[in-house]
Structure 1
Amino acid sequence: MKILRFSLLLIAAVSVLPACNKDFLNQVPDDRITIDQVFARRKYAEEYLANIYNTLPNDAYRNTSPWEGMSDDADITYDRPGSGYDSYPANLGNWSAASNYFNYWPKYYQGIRSATYFMQRIGENVEILALPNGHDLIEQYKAEARALRAYYYYCLLRQYGPVILLGDTPIAGDLAPSAEEMQLPRSSYDECVDYIVSELDLAAQNLPKHFTAQSETDYGRVTQAFCKGVKSQVTLLAASPQFNGNTDYAGFKNKDGKQLISQQYDANKWKRAADAAKELMSGFGLALYRKNDAGGNFDPYLSTRDVFLDPWNTEVIFARTTNGLSGWERSVSPRLCNGYAAVAVTQQLVDEFEMENGKGIRETGSGYVETGFSTTATQYTLKGTYNMYVGREPRFYVNVSYNGSPWINTSEGTKVIETFFTGNTGKKGSWDHPRTGYIARKNLHPNSNPRISQYVARPFVMMRYAEFLLNYIEALNEYDPGNADIAQYLNEIRDRAGLPDVAPGLGQDDMRVKIRHERRVELCLENLRYFDTRRWKIAEQTDGGPFYGMNVDAGTKLTDLVFYQRTVFERRVFRKNYYLQPIPQSEIDRDPNLVQNPGW
């Protein structure tokens, strides 16, 4: 979408102007319009709305967010000082409220204010009102802005905890810092959740059901399905241990003593989350994406890979049409094709993928071998592949490039990725190498080739059906363990991935382990793991301590065993206050009633 920019024209060097043209400086530049003109004209008002959309997170690009590089799934390679890749110092504990890392607080509040102002004024638009469907279009545009505003509040909520709710009256842009409107306290977490949910429900009333109900030129606009998706996300977050009766936040209060996180556990919050997710499961035509191979047979590899590559398929709920996917693709491409190899997968994630028989690598009967090299090729691996990578489930090959794996683009022949020390994507002689010996591969199109700057343009999927099936069964397992839906939908996801069903009759605790495992594998590298470990209150175990990969400081050929040693590439620090990111100190300084997050 285009971004409308209101610019001022600076006119200087008056001495060089023709002396006879006395009215020159009284002219109005033709790139300047007033805000009243913006909301009187359809074109400008729609561009204003497009600019509100532009606030949507663009997490496809590697260094614009912390969500992957600060999770236990991945590492952002660049560790040189001053590089701007702030996940590196943050992972080492070099972080404070004044560091200004990942400062999204002003960005989202700007989006919130713009949405509120748009909602207040779009009804004045005489050009739109003159259309036969003008009134309905006005209401739709208001609903879009309302839904986006609710989503931006959710983005703040998941990063910072309870926030300041501003209501429907935009704060004037020329207020003094001492004005009452500039000194607002935080609302409680539950108040924030209730507000976001009510706004989403209200917005959904005037939105098309799903992108299939829109014209193709409108794909990427919010819909009822988008609202239901955000509602599921925010209610699941509210039901989770981090915010549902978490006594670690007993002292988290406003200056007037108002408790910001409820200290009472409420099982009904899980029911609310399950009900919210279930709203998406009927009436929207959503289904797990399934794809056949050239012979007409179901292919779990193509299904789990191409759900991101085949635009607007049955699993897509919401996608960003303008995005940074070309930057992502170059970042996860090996150096042998002019990629950066900048997003590395951890050994912890590699070990999470099951074997093709559905057993974990440490389970009896899995067939997992961590020594030697294969003597034959398989569907996914070449002859001579280290056995650690042979016989794994299809999603492993969708998500991970490993030492000895064939490059996904075969237009120039089969190229083999080498991440050992002297390999074509190894550490020797370049910053552009994965510190773990593994490179992320998800959401990489096989027809993209960074060597010739060829990238396949497509939408960046931000919400897909599999996430909400997992939301549903997680919440259901907490308030109604044993419900038949839990195993049914868990097994649907596993079946699409080419794996057998989970064993029947699992109790609540064992099923919780299975659900969390499946969520990690199915949704890995989709900017969700960071929030999952925090909302489950397990990040102190998962996100701190030694992080492992292969020995990238060794090896001169693919078969050098010294490379295939589990090696610590980083010792991360995770303190209890890291469960919430700090509100930037500059914001605390501006608002005397804004309390900082615990421990910062």
Structure 2
Amino acid sequence: MSVLGACKKDFLGQIPDDALAIEDVFQKDDLTRAFLANVYSNIRSETDHSGENVPWEGLSDEMDVTYVNYPMFTMNTNWTKATTNYNYWDFYYKAIRNASYFIQNANSDNNKITDPALLAKWRAEARMLRAYFYFMLLRQYGPFVMMPEVPIAPDATIEEFSLPRSSYDECVNYIVSEIDKAYPDLQEPKQDIPTGDYNRMNKGIALGVKSRLLLYAASPLVNGNTDYADFKNLDGKQLINQSYDVSKWKKAADAAKALIDLNVYALYKEPLANTGGVYNPAVSLKNVFLSNWNSESIMVKASDVTPYDQNGAPRPAGGWSSWGPTQSAVDSYFMANGLPPITGYNGDGSPIINPASGYTESGTTATATSNYAAGASMMYVNREPRFYVAISFNQSKWINAAGGTQANPLVLLMYYGGASGGYTGANWSKTGYSTRKLASPSTSLLAPVTISPRFEIKMRLAEIYLNYVEALNEYNPGHSDILTYLNMVRERAGIPQYGGGAGQITPPSDMRAAIRQERRVELAFENFRFFDTRRWKIAEQVENGPFYGMNATNGTNNTDFQKRTVFETRVFTKKHYFWNILQSELNRDKKLVGNPWW
């Protein structure tokens, strides 16, 4: 198994339905390995935000997926209980069942060939995988049905299959206990790199999953949210706690710090040649996703990364420009001086500009840089390195020679009728922006097509730092570690740190808002924003109503294009905080209650 999910045997896609078949599988070393590989294969790839693949970005306030025939377009305006798209309830319960079979049967009683210590390690991996799958259910649907340790027989009656949901807190405690149970037998992080097995479930991944889980569990959506006062099982059991508990933030902070204190991982910084260790922030921020097995990677998966390149590249470079960052996502990036350019919005959607930042939307620049051509809007001048790494904008320069040359790269013209803008076909961004963060400059989408191989990054150290400071700020504001670790993220990003020292800027008075903005920028387009706006309980504000971009549909030149314009009006109500459970699932389990307001 070279990386998570890299191996899958079709014949193990279904659990054997008789004892003899189970015995046959687990008596043999190679079949035992293959069965575990099949359990690993249930870790879903989340690289493609289009079609029926994964919805998190297209249903968040940071991206528009341009195609109106894709399910998320309808879901952003008319998501009903009957909507079947992206429902993973059944998928994850099958994965949980497979993991449970492995835990029950991969032992020395059945397998006399494999080393018992190795079998114990594999069972720990399966237990960790099962905990991960339960967390995937929890983050999407809320409280789940906890299955018996011994899987229910496939021919069980509906009464035997009918189990109630556990409370959210019980679900969290169970996942934590399973992670803790697996932890001692998991391999150390970054072990066995020569064999390609370094990213099997290991102690680093275990602590990372626990960090993310406990951060979500401490957040306002499920920590004393009285909106869910009536969310109960049929017997009256309360499923979301009704009292705020600040100690949950401490548990989240402690979990993140435990991973940090392993001292195994480090923020990726790529030194410039012949500089004695000086690094380039933009190159480092780009290559953290392109350099395999780098110091920051905690959990990765071998996935098809073509969507990163295809949907982010402009048409003249062979791409589709189909993942369009929203204007609010663009506005969230800091200026080069480390200050936020926008502090809020007026009722008409116009921005409240931070005068201290130096940001302006008036005029164009006469100076070309490596990031943009002369004539680019002042909106895009003097922004931080992460902005130029992540966002393609009108008159920005493409990341390689495709459509141009190395010396004179393609300049993106994103107005309607521009070479990279709107036309009568479908492949153009309705927001006037496209994502370039995860696209590789080594990929060629023009003949001969070559996709630069790299892994999907599912967890990295920057997230853990941000998990830590968010949780720490909620239960112990003013703790010195808040600025220490927040500044580590900012320093790598190439912007001024917070503090009173030379070159630093005054820490913001609203540290919660500052941490959330840093998180939004650092983790943009990595499938976090969907869950963050929900757990913070702000999605009703930020994902409901008019969505802005540039005037990509009607602006036919640079001047007319460069205007904030509504491209879509979305609908988000309380029911959307947790996913709809399909009626077919409710019919199969007579004790299963659906999520509120669906």
TM-score (norm. length: structure 1) = 0.91
- Which residue among 72, 78, 86 is the counterpart of 1:87? 72
SS across alignment from 1:463: strand
Residue 431 of structure 2 is matched in structure 1 by: 436
Letter in 2 for 1:230: V
Superposed displacement of residue 314, structure 1: 0.9
In the alignment, the residues of structure 2 paired with residue 360 and residue 303 of structure 1 have an alpha-carbon distance, to the nearest angstrom, of 22
Aligned to 1:335: 315
Asked if 1 retains the 8 angstrom alpha-carbon contact of 2:314 and 2:320, the reply is yes
How far apart in 2 are the matches of 1:336 and 1:456? 19
Q: CA deviation at 1:220?
A: 3.0
Find the partner of 2:226 among 244, 247, 252.
247
SS in 2 for 1:75: strand
Which of 402, 411, 426 is 1:416 aligned to?
Answer: 411
State the partner residue of 1:382. Answer: 373
2:445 is aligned, of 430, 447, 450, to 450
Once the 2 structures are TM-superposed, how far is the Cα of residue 154 of structure 1 from its aligned partner?
A: 0.4
State which drifts further: 288-297 or 350-359: 288-297
Aligned to 1:490: 486
Matched, 1:357 2:337: yes
Tell me, yes or no, if the aligned pair for 2:189 and 2:198 is still in contact at 8 Å.
no
One-letter identity of the residue aligned with 2:456 = F
Q: 66, 71, 74: which is aligned to 1:77? A: 66
Aligned residues: 563
Structure 1 residue 3 corresponds to structure 2 residue 12 = no
Assess if the C-alpha contact under 8 Å between 2:544 and 2:570 holds in 1: yes
* C-alpha distance in structure 1 between counterparts of 2:42 and 2:296, whole Å: 24
| Residue 207 of structure 2 is aligned to residue 228 of structure 1 | yes
Query: Residues of 2 paired with 1:587 and 1:211: CA distance?
Result: 40
Following superposition, the deviation at residue 304 of structure 1 comes to 1.1
Say whether the 8 Å CA contact 2:189–2:199 is kept in structure 1.
no
Aligned to 2:471: 475
In the alignment, the residues of structure 2 paired with residue 506 and residue 541 of structure 1 have an alpha-carbon distance, to the nearest angstrom, of 29
Answer whether contact 1:374 1:387 (CA < 8 A) is retained. Answer: yes
Report matched runs for 1:564-583 at 5 Å. 564-583=562-581
Which residue is 1:26 aligned to? none
1:250-270 Cα distance to aligned partner (Å, 9 max, x none): 000000000001111111101
Q: Which amino acid aligns with 1:130?
A: I
Match of 2:119 in 1: 138
Given that 1:374 and 1:385 are in contact with CA atoms closer than 8 Å, whether structure 2 keeps it comes out as yes
Describe the SS at the equivalent of 2:515.
Answer: helix
Is residue 2:296 matched to residue 1:315? yes
Deviation, structure 1 residue 338: 2.0
CA distance in 2, matches of 1:556, 1:578: 37
Q: Does 1:324 align with 2:329?
A: no
Q: What is the aligned partner in structure 2 of residue 101 from structure 1? A: 85
Confirm or deny: 8 A CA contact 1:183 1:594 kept in the other structure.
Answer: yes
CA distance in 1, matches of 2:32, 2:453: 28
CA deviation map 1:376-433 (0-9, x unaligned): 1224222222221111000001111111111112265111222211112222121000
- SS for the counterpart of 1:211 is coil
* Identity percentage of aligned residues: 45
Between 444-453 and 273-282, report the one with greater CA deviation: 444-453
> What's the secondary structure of 1:470's corresponding residue?
helix
Post-superposition offset of 1:507: 8.9
Aligned CA distance change for structure 1 residues 337 and 120 (closer, same or farther; 3 Å): same
CA distance in 1, matches of 2:580, 2:499: 42
Distance 1:2 1:270 in 2: 37
Alpha-carbon shift at residue 550 of structure 1 (Å): 0.7
Is the Cα contact below 8 Å between 1:162 and 1:260 reproduced in 2?
Answer: yes
SS of corresponding position for 1:45:
helix
Deviation at 1:367, TM superposition (A): 1.9
Q: Which moved more, 1:459-468 or 1:403-412?
A: 403-412
CA separation in 2, counterparts of 1:234 and 1:60? Answer: 21
> Is 2:585 the partner of 1:598?
no
Gaps of 5+ in 2: 1-5, 14-19, 342-352
Q: One-letter code of the match for 1:79?
A: V
**Contact 2:373/2:411 (<8 A) preserved:** no
The residue number in structure 1 matching 2:552 is 552
* Aligned mates of 1:369, 1:120 — CA distance in 2: 63
Q: Hey, what's the Cα distance between the residues in 2 that align with 1:2 and 1:456?
A: 21
Gaps spanning 5+ residues in structure 1: where? Answer: 9-32
SS for the counterpart of 1:365 is: helix
Mapping of residues 186-197 of structure 1, within 5 Å = 186-197=165-176
Using the TM superposition, name which of 370-379 and 69-78 deviates more.
370-379
2:142 equivalent in structure 1: 161
For residues 220-255 of structure 1, give each alpha carbon's deviation from its aligned partner in whole angstroms, at most 9, with x where no partner exists: 311101110010111111111101111000000000
Match of 1:208 among 187, 195, 215: 187
The whole-number CA distance in structure 2 between the counterparts of 1:222 and 1:245 is 33
Q: Which residue of 2 aligns with 1:427?
A: 422
Q: Deviation of residue 97 (structure 1)?
A: 2.1
Alpha-carbon distance, 1:372 to partner: 2.2
In structure 2, what is the Cα distance between the partners aligned to 1:125 and 1:141? 15
**In 1, Cα distance between the equivalents of 2:121 and 2:256?**
24
Work out the CA distance in 1 between the residues paired with 2:575 and 2:10: 39
Contact 1:550 1:567 in 2 (8 A): yes
Aligned amino acid, residue 527 of structure 1: N
Quote the Cα distance in structure 2 between the aligned partners of 1:474 and 1:7: 41
Q: What residue number does 2:346 align with? A: none
Structure 2 partner of 1:14: none
Q: Offset at 1:207?
A: 0.9
Q: Judging changes above 3 Å, is the alpha-carbon distance between structure 1 residues 130 and 48 closer, same or farther for their aligned structure 2 residues?
A: closer
What CA distance in whole angstroms lies between the structure 2 residues aligned with 1:508 and 1:360? 10
Separation in structure 2 between the aligned mates of residue 315 and residue 379 of structure 1, nearest angstrom = 27
1:466 alignment partner in structure 2: 462
Moved more, 506-515 or 69-78: 506-515
Within the candidate set 10, 28, 35, 1:41 is matched to: 28
SS of the residue 2:357 aligns to: coil
Amino acid corresponding to residue 252 of structure 1 in structure 2: F
Between the aligned partners of 2:272 and 2:193, the Cα distance in structure 1 is 30
Cα distance in 2 for partners of 1:555, 1:90 equals: 27
The alignment status of 1:175 with 2:164, answered yes or no, reads no
How far the C-alpha of 1:49 sits from its partner, in A, is: 1.1
CA displacement 1:558-580 (0-9 Å, x = unmatched): xx300001010000101011111
AA matched with 1:70: L
What is residue 348 of structure 2 aligned with on the other side?
none
Q: Tell me the secondary structure at the aligned position of residue 205 of structure 1.
A: helix
Comparing 105-114 with 297-306, greater Cα deviation is found at 297-306
SS in 1 for 2:389: helix
The answer to whether the Cα contact below 8 Å between 1:62 and 1:331 also exists between their aligned partners in 2 is no
Give the corresponding residue for 2:47: 60
* Residue 315 of structure 1: how far off its partner (Å): 0.7
Name the counterpart of 2:516.
516
Q: Counterpart of 2:17?
A: none
Counterpart selection for 1:367 from 354, 358, 378: 358
Change (3 A) 1:310 1:498: same
